[in-house]
C-alpha cells in the first residue's frame, strides 16, 4: 500500500511542540511533504531557530512517519526560509491564543 500525503499529515498531527502543547501541523511548522515510493521527506521549521525542543521534534517526526505502512525511510529537512510567524498557525489556534 502506497503512503499518501494525507497519511503523513495525519501522523504529523501526533507530533507536539511540548512548550506550546500544540501539534506541529496546527502550528504551521510543516512546509512540505514529498513522497517517492517508500521515501518520505518532510520540510519543516521551528517557531525559533533557538528552540531547545527542535531535535526532539525532528526525531518524533521520523518516528511517527516511519510507523506508516509502506514507509522505508524518513528524511527531515529543517529550514528557516521563510521564517515562521504566528500567521502560519491554523486560524482557530491563533484565535484560541488571542493572536
Q: What is the CATH number of the domain that holds 51?
A: 3.30.300.130
Tens digits of residue pLDDT in 74-86:
999 999 999 999 9
- Structural domain boundaries, residue 28: 5-83
Which range among 3-12, 16-25, 35-44 shows the weakest confidence by mean pLDDT?
Answer: 16-25
Instruction: Flag whether 89 is in a domain.
Output: no
The total number of structural domains in the chain stands at: 1
**Which residues does 50 contact at the CB level (< 8 Å), separation at least 6?**
none
What is this structure's pTM? 0.92
Tens digits of residue pLDDT in 27-78:
999 999 999 999 999 999 999 998 888 999 999 999 999 999 999 999 999 9
Task: List the beta strands (DSSP E) in 21-71.
Answer: 22-23, 30-36, 39-44
Instruction: Flag whether 94 is in a domain.
Output: no
Instruction: Flag whether 98 is in a domain.
Output: no
Amino acid at each position: 500500500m502506497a503512503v499518501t500525503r494525507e497519511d503523513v499529515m495525519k501522523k504529523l498531527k501526533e507530533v507536539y511542540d511540548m512548550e506550546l502543547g500544540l501539534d506541529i501541523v496546527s502550528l504551521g511548522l510543516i512546509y512540505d511533504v514529498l513522497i517517492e515510493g517508500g521515501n518520505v521527506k518532510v520540510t519543516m521549521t521551528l517557531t525559533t531557530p533557538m528552540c531547545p525542543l527542535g531535535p526532539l521534534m525532528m526525531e518524533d517526526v521520523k518516528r511517527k512517519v516511519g510507523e506508516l505502512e509502506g514507509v522505508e525511510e524518513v528524511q527531515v529537512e529543517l529550514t528557516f526560509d521563510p521564517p515562521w510567524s504566528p500567521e502560519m498557525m491554523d486560524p482557530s489556534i491563533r484565535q484560541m491564543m488571542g493572536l
